[in-house]
Homo-oligomer: A and B are copies of this chain.
């Protein structure tokens, strides 16, 4: 900026005013400065600017890592942000600080002073209400609290999935849970249990395991379930990645899906349809959730407190190739 100022024969303050379109600059001066800016290819530093002023026109999307779910959120957010004049900054900050608990607070603190005007936090465990930064949570731990939230109807979706298996004649159904610290995981288990209870079916505690929502962490519990002497004829996994891990595990132990074992997932990430066989799953409108969150956040940033809302989107069952009637039926 100093270069521009010198080259245009003005002060940096004037350059700043021109860049930000402030009043009180002669048209001729403004034009000259603009000319120098484009000639030098000058671009203001987001960092320095944001250290000084409170607005950056950048929305942050905070994630633990870029996996299929957050990637879909990003796609939806990207489409939604296009018409708003905001840039998008997605941050994945699990690198240091040892464990990955509290990444959302760390990331928010690091970015919000203020690199970003507001943040969408994807699947946060702890949502600390800081009212200095507008925040929208997607599928948070605690379920709706004081902060704006977007989630899907996890409970109804889980009921759908379980009823589907029951309708196919399955009676011994396993549940592979996600992370016990996430509300979505709890609700999916609850939906599973209530649908089982409604059908008068027992839930064998040995058939309920925790898979951590990740492919690698689901591998062990999936094998354990399938290694049981009286193994189930169907598995309902709390997300697609774990369902895919279950299909892999089944193949490992020589079980055919869906003839010997039916598998249902949750999310309907793009990977679900690419699985072999294609995964029957409960679809959440993930991209729409991302778009909805951005919409809410933009209103929040604009000071519209009515946007401190809780949006719940519907889920639906998508039947594909990984489920079939129970063996011997």
Contact = CB atoms under 8 A, between A and B. Distances in A.
Interface of A: 41-48, 50-51, 57, 65-68, 71-72, 74-75, 77-78, 81-82, 84-96, 105-106, 109-111, 113-115, 269-271, 273-274
B88 A43 contact: no
Contacts of A95: 57, 81-82, 84-87
15 contacts: A41-B109, A43-B106, A45-B109, A45-B110, A47-B47, A47-B114, A65-B78, A65-B82, A66-B88, A81-B95, A87-B93, A87-B96, A88-B93, A270-B273, A270-B274
A282 to B, nearest CB: 16
Q: Is chain A's binding surface mostly helix, strand, loop or mixed?
A: mixed
Taking each of A44, A46, A50, A273, which has the highest tally of chain B beta carbons within 10 Å of its own beta carbon?
A46
Taking each of A47, A71, A81, A271, which has the highest tally of chain B beta carbons within 10 Å of its own beta carbon?
A47
Contacts of A93: 87-88
Given A57-B96, A91-B88, A274-B270, A111 B67 contact: no
Contacts of A84: 95
B92 A78 contact: yes
Given A51-B51, A95-B87, A75 B66 contact: yes
Given A47-B50, A47-B113, A89 B91 contact: yes
Contacts of A51: 47-48, 51
